[in-house]
Structure 1
Amino acid sequence: MTLATLAAVLQPALKNGYAVAGLVTLGWEDMRAYVAAADAEGVPVILQAGPSCRAHTPLPILGKMFRHLADTASVPVVAHLDHGYTFEDCQEALDSGFTSLMYDGSQKPLSQNIDETGRIAEMAHAAGISCEGEIGFVGYAEGATSKGTDPEEARKFAEATGVDAMAISVGNVHLQENKEGGLEEERIRAIEAVTDVPLVIHGGSGVPSAQRRKLATGSKICKFNIGTELRKVFGTALRDAVNRNPDRFDRVAILSEIHDPLAAATRVVLRDFGRSVPAAQ
């Protein structure tokens, strides 16, 4: 079994100069392809259940799916709650076998965010698992505007909450479909100068690959969340599979054709973040 906590995969990344992918899952087909890709590349992977995933599949089921995939993998697999907005979300994920909780209090006043995230971190650590928090606010490509992370607030947040990883807002946005943007490296350097907590980039799909590679190996950013980039691959592969034979109705047959293109695209993404062990041959 290779089930791991977030801290167990991010601390070696911080020490050895690489990052780990947090891959946003929506169902069995994508999470299975993600683990296959990580196995093939010989790198750890973080399977993430965000709000849209949880709306489709209950957390107790997702926990069993993640843990089953970890049982079959040769690399560390983290079962991660992404954007838990309430204590109930986090408690249910903990009870469902998740090994990492991300509490998102980023739109609340700093003192409230620190207090609530700290309580989640305490709960997680008491259970032997990890906690990620967010300081600043990472907005959405077609929605709420980001609020950049203030380095001094980041220092206070990291020290007061005891989180194992800290998501920051440095030019990244969720659901960005192109890579025309980029991260604010000056702000990143100011944040990492005042904390040793592994840093997290949400909305990693919108970050140019060259910058992902640079920061993965040359900063304290140890986790990039990737969702939109691979969802687009899934959607294209699904459309192609359906269109190859419009009369076909068996979804198992159709979905079986998604695995290989999605796993191949995931391997390309994983190569942006460096390696913790040699790739499988």
Structure 2
Amino acid sequence: MTLATLSQVLQPALTNGYAVAGLVTLGWEDMRAYVAAAEAEGVPVILQAGPSCREHTPLPILGKMFRHLADGASVPVVAHLDHGYTFEECKEALDSGFTSLMFDGSRKPLSQNIDETARIAEMAHSAGISCEGEIGFVGYATGAASEGTDPEEAAKFADETGVDAMAISVGNVHLQENKEGGLDEVRIRAIEAVTKVPLVIHGGSGVPVAQRQHLAATSRICKFNIGTELRKAFGSALRDAVNRDPARFDRVTILKETHDPLVEATRRVLQAFGGSQKG
């Protein structure tokens, strides 16, 4: 069994200069492919259940799915709650076997975000698992704008919450389909100068691959969340499978044909973070 906590995979990444992928899951087909890709690359993987995933599948079921995959995996697998918004939701994830809780209080006043995140971090640590928090709101490509992380607030947040990883807003955007943007490295370095906690980039699909490689090797950013990029790869493979024979209706047969293309797309994502060479 290779079930791991977030700290167990991020601390080696921080020490050795690479990053770990937090891969946003929507169902069995993608999470299975993500683990297969991680095994092929010989790197740990963080399976993430975000809000849209949880709308489709209950947390207790997701916990069992993640843990089942970890049981048979040859690499460390983290069962991670992504964007938990309430204490109750985080507690349900913990009770469902998750090994990492990400509480998102980034839209709340700083003092409230600190207090609520600290409470969840304490709960997580008491159970022997990890906690990720967020300081500075990360916006959406077609929605609310980002609010950049203030380095001084980040230092206070990291110190007073006790989180194991800290998500920051430095030019990253959720659901971005292209890689025409880029992260604010000046702001990243300013945050690094006043904090020691591993840093996390949400909306990693919009970050140019070369910058992912550079920051994974040279910064405290130890985790990039990737969702949109791999959802597009899955959607393309599914569309090809359906169109290959429009008369087919057995979804198991159709979905099987998404596996290999998604594994290959995921391997390309994982290769950019350097863990294959350094892990």
Partner letter of residue 168 of structure 1? I
Contact 1:18 / 1:276 at 8 angstroms: preserved in 2?
no
Q: Distance in 2 between matches of 1:227 and 1:60?
A: 22
Query: C-alpha offsets along residues 94-133 of structure 1, whole Å, 9 cap, x if unaligned?
Result: 0000000000000000000000000000000000000000
Matched residue, 1:131: 131
Q: Provide the residue aligned with 2:23 in structure 1.
A: 23
Q: Give the equivalent residue in structure 2 for 1:11.
A: 11
Superposition TM-score, scaled by structure 2 size:
0.99
Letter in 1 for 2:141: A
Answering whether residue 151 of structure 2 is matched by residue 166 of structure 1, we say: no
**Other-structure match for 2:177:** 177
- CA distance, structure 1, for counterparts of residue 212 and residue 278 of structure 2: 20
SS at match of 2:32: helix
Runs of 4+ in 1 over 3 A off after TM superposition: 276-279
Q: Tell me the distance in 2 between the aligned counterparts of 1:68 and 1:260.
A: 20
Contact 2:10–2:20, Cα closer than 8 Å, also in 1? yes
Contact conserved, 2:237 with 2:258, CA < 8 A, in 1? yes
Structure 2: runs of 5+ lacking an equivalent: none
Partner Cα separation in structure 2 for residue 258 and residue 91 of structure 1 = 34
Distance in 1 (CA, whole Å) between partners of 2:84 and 2:184 is 26
Aligned to 1:117: 117
State the partner residue of 1:38: 38
Separation in structure 1 between the aligned mates of residue 10 and residue 239 of structure 2, nearest angstrom: 36
Aligned residues: 279
SS of match in other structure, 2:200: strand
User: Matches of 1:192 and 1:43 in 2, distance apart?
Assistant: 25
TM superposition shift of 1:277: 6.2
Segments of structure 1 that go 5 or more residues without pairing to the other structure are none
Alpha-carbon distance between aligned partners in 1 of 2:200 and 2:151, rounded to the nearest angstrom = 14
For the Cα contact (< 8 Å) 1:78–1:99, is it kept in 2?
yes
Counterparts of 1:1-281 in structure 2, within 5 Å, are 1-275=1-275
Contact 2:158 2:195 in 1 (8 A): yes
Distance 1:276 1:264, change over 3 A: closer
SS in 1 for 2:133: strand
* C-alpha deviation, 1:276, in angstroms: 5.6
Q: Percent identity?
A: 85
Task: Say if 2:16 and 2:278, in contact at 8 Å, map to a contact too.
Answer: no
The TM-score normalised by the length of structure 1 is: 0.98
Question: In 1, Cα distance between the equivalents of 2:92 and 2:201?
Answer: 25
The Cα shift of 1:278 comes to 7.0
Alpha-carbon distance in 1 for matches of 2:276, 2:137: 30
- 1:237–1:220 distance in 2 versus 1, CA, 3 Å: same
Distance 1:75 1:272 in 2: 18
1:275 Cα deviation after fit:
1.4
SS in 1 for 2:18: coil
SS, match of residue 272 in structure 2: helix
Q: Distance in 2 between matches of 1:3 and 1:77?
A: 5
What amino acid sits opposite 2:136 in the alignment? G
Cα distance in 2 between the residues matched to 1:278 and 1:22 = 18
- The amino acid that maps onto 1:167 is A
Partners of 2:72 and 2:264 lie apart in 1 by: 19
Aligned Cα RMSD in Å?
0.9
Q: Secondary structure at the match of 2:79?
A: strand
**SS of residue paired to 1:107:** coil
In 1: Cα distance, 2:20 partner to 2:278 partner: 14
